[in-house]
Chains A and B, each alone.
Chain A
Amino acid sequence: MEKEADLLQGTLDMLVLKALARGAKHGYGVAEWIHESSNDVLHVEEGALYPALHRLELKGWLSAEWGTSANNRRAKYYSLTAAGRKKLAEETEYWRRMSRAIARVMQIA
């Protein structure tokens, strides 16, 4: 049970980091980006998104700033730090290896 949660958390972290690779976003923006980029397949559980964002900020992979959104509302914008970019690269590499390995295993008839 623990392992599953870890895997999920790790994956979510990676998706969040990826979402911010192209520029700062607020939490809602991250959720929408993932949804759109995955062709509507992935729906990030919003209950997990905000604790994840805060955790990543504390770890030093994200930095946060308060600003005004497009429709003049006060919002917290997150962006990747240098360490965050490094972490994203690591996670991406790890994910590629894992998914290739799993695919190979699953191909075995």
Chain B
Amino acid sequence: MSYWMRVKALFQTKQLDRDLEDELAFHLAMREEKNRERGIEGEEARYAARRHFGNVTRIKEACREAWSFVSLESTWRDLWYGARALAKNPGFTAVAVLAIALGIGVNTGIFSVLNGVALKLLPVPRADQIVSVDQTFHGKFRRNVHGEPGMFSYSEYKNYRASNHFFSGMLAYAPFLEATLGGESPSQVMGAETSCNFFDVLRERPALGRTFVEADCSAPGASPVAVLSDDLWRTRFGADPLVVGKSISLNRAKFVVIGVAAPGFRGLDPWPSAFWAPVTMQKALEPDADLLLNDYTGWLAVLGRMRPGVFLERALGESEQRLYALNAWRETPFYSERERAALDWTEAVTLVSQTHVPDEVYEEVRKHFSEKELLDLTFAVVAINSWNRLAVSLRAIPGTYQGKKSSAAAS
């Protein structure tokens, strides 16, 4: 209570003083009047009142002190005493100052890094639509990890990209890519291998030349091209306007510069990227490991740009709609082209006696699935149908079978 009153008083000192003045003046006036009533005359009445009252200045001071927070004098005295004590112990003071400075410095440093990595949005258009995608595995599925367990292999990334509904685009990139930029004075640079829709999903336009197109990622090693960062272009290439088409050497492999990114675009790593190369150039840049064909090592980080109107919550799980509408998959728009092809194939194979699995269905499904994938799919259809045939014939009660609880379902 008193705290707030005193805070208010801080801003109203003039008013307070005037009030105090009035209050005491009133008392003195009343006393003076009383004295006159008693018969004391003239000036004596006033003097008597003052004497009776006491030292007005001291009383005013005492009242003011009650209202102040800390009397200024005592604060100053304490500070001065503290300073003297510190001066007497220079060693201790130095250590204390260093410790505090270190603490402040470390805190600031940590926060800056955290801010850059996790808290700030990416400096790209509509960054609020961009989410990072991780995967988790349930069950006893073993898998190599190259970095974070939640990262993706190239084939996994391609799968998810082809069959998702929530993202207008999904990009993949391999972070922490160090490369030696060859030339008269070779230097170490940090860059990233990225999927060819990297710049499109991020909606980053190049300042010079072009960025990647899907053809650049058509096959491993197909397109040894690179996009330079604005920074690298200025420092290493002297902002050469004719840099597009130039040949550069990264980790002793030859790359052709196809473009320069816009100034201010630094890639997705916590530190600025100097170059970007198609992910299909992975073996050229990292000759020790052939990761493109490795299905079991996670080495790509994935980001997706959500479709407008898609909320994060929906993206996190399969919608009820899709599950319930499965029976009407032909008439509903909930399933991707790939899924529809698979469903069509499944129906055709299941009803083989009627459909004889026509060529058109085969062509369609082969568009979305490789030979191996189609083989897997077909065997799955056949297996499920066999079990159903058995279960129905032998009148098994649905739900009584409790299989081994393991699945490699990546969610």
Inter-chain contact A69/B26, CB cutoff 8 Å: yes
Give the contacts of A51-93 with B (CB-CB under 8 A). 51, 54-55, 57-60, 66, 69, 71, 73-76
Inter-chain contact B66/A46, CB cutoff 8 Å: no
Which chain B residues lie closer than 8 Å to A57 at the CB level?
5
Inter-chain contact A76/B30, CB cutoff 8 Å: no
Docked Cα-Cα span, A47 to B59, in Å, equals 6
Which chain A residues lie closer than 8 Å to B65 at the CB level?
51
Docked Cα-Cα span, A54 to B54, in Å, equals 17
Check: A4 CB closer than 8 A to any chain B CB. Answer: no
Docked Cα-Cα span, A46 to B54, in Å, equals 7
Docked Cα-Cα span, A57 to B54, in Å, equals 22
Docked Cα-Cα span, A28 to B35, in Å, equals 14
Inter-chain contact A50/B2, CB cutoff 8 Å: no
Which chain B residues lie closer than 8 Å to A60 at the CB level?
1-2
State the Cβ distance, A56 to closest chain B Cβ, in Å: 10
What's the dominant secondary structure at chain A's contact region? Answer: helix
Give the contacts of A29-62 with B (CB-CB under 8 A). 31, 45-47, 50-51, 54-55, 57-60
Check: B63 CB closer than 8 A to any chain A CB. Answer: yes
Give the contacts of B44-100 with A (CB-CB under 8 A). 52-55, 58-59, 62-63, 65-67
Check: B24 CB closer than 8 A to any chain A CB. Answer: yes
Check: B148 CB closer than 8 A to any chain A CB. Answer: no
Which chain A residues lie closer than 8 Å to B24 at the CB level?
50
Inter-chain contact A76/B55, CB cutoff 8 Å: no
Inter-chain contact B58/A58, CB cutoff 8 Å: no
Docked Cα-Cα span, A10 to B24, in Å, equals 22
- Asked, given contacts A51-B59, A59-B2, whether A27 binds B53 with beta carbons under 8 Å apart, the answer is no
Inter-chain contact A58/B63, CB cutoff 8 Å: no
Inter-chain contact B1/A50, CB cutoff 8 Å: no
Nearest CB to that of A81 among chain B residues? B1
Inter-chain contact B22/A76, CB cutoff 8 Å: yes
State the Cβ distance, A95 to closest chain B Cβ, in Å: 24
Docked Cα-Cα span, A94 to B14, in Å, equals 39
Inter-chain contact A28/B62, CB cutoff 8 Å: no
Check: B158 CB closer than 8 A to any chain A CB. Answer: no
Docked Cα-Cα span, A45 to B33, in Å, equals 19
Inter-chain contact A47/B58, CB cutoff 8 Å: yes
| Of B2, B5, B27, B33, the contact of A46 (CB 8 Å cutoff) | B27
State the Cβ distance, B380 to closest chain A Cβ, in Å: 78
Inter-chain contact B55/A47, CB cutoff 8 Å: yes
Inter-chain contact A59/B1, CB cutoff 8 Å: yes
Nearest CB to that of A59 among chain B residues? B2
Inter-chain contact B22/A74, CB cutoff 8 Å: yes
- Asked, given contacts A50-B59, A54-B63, whether A45 binds B54 with beta carbons under 8 Å apart, the answer is yes
Inter-chain contact B67/A28, CB cutoff 8 Å: no
Docked Cα-Cα span, A73 to B30, in Å, equals 10
Inter-chain contact B67/A47, CB cutoff 8 Å: no
Check: B6 CB closer than 8 A to any chain A CB. Answer: yes
B271-283: contact bitstring with A at CB < 8 Å (1 yes, 0 no)? 0000000000000
Docked Cα-Cα span, A90 to B268, in Å, equals 69
Inter-chain contact B66/A55, CB cutoff 8 Å: yes
Check: B23 CB closer than 8 A to any chain A CB. Answer: yes
Inter-chain contact B63/A46, CB cutoff 8 Å: no
| Of A27, A54, A66, A71, the contact of B67 (CB 8 Å cutoff) | A54
Check: B31 CB closer than 8 A to any chain A CB. Answer: yes
24 contacts between A and B (CB under 8 A): A26-B23, A26-B27, A27-B23, A46-B27, A46-B53, A47-B53, A47-B62, A50-B23, A50-B24, A50-B27, A50-B63, A51-B59, A51-B63, A51-B65, A51-B66, A54-B67, A58-B66, A58-B67, A69-B26, A69-B30, A71-B33, A73-B26, A76-B19, A76-B26
- A binding-site residues for B, Cβ under 8 Å: 26-28, 31, 45-47, 50-51, 54-55, 57-60, 66, 69, 71, 73-76
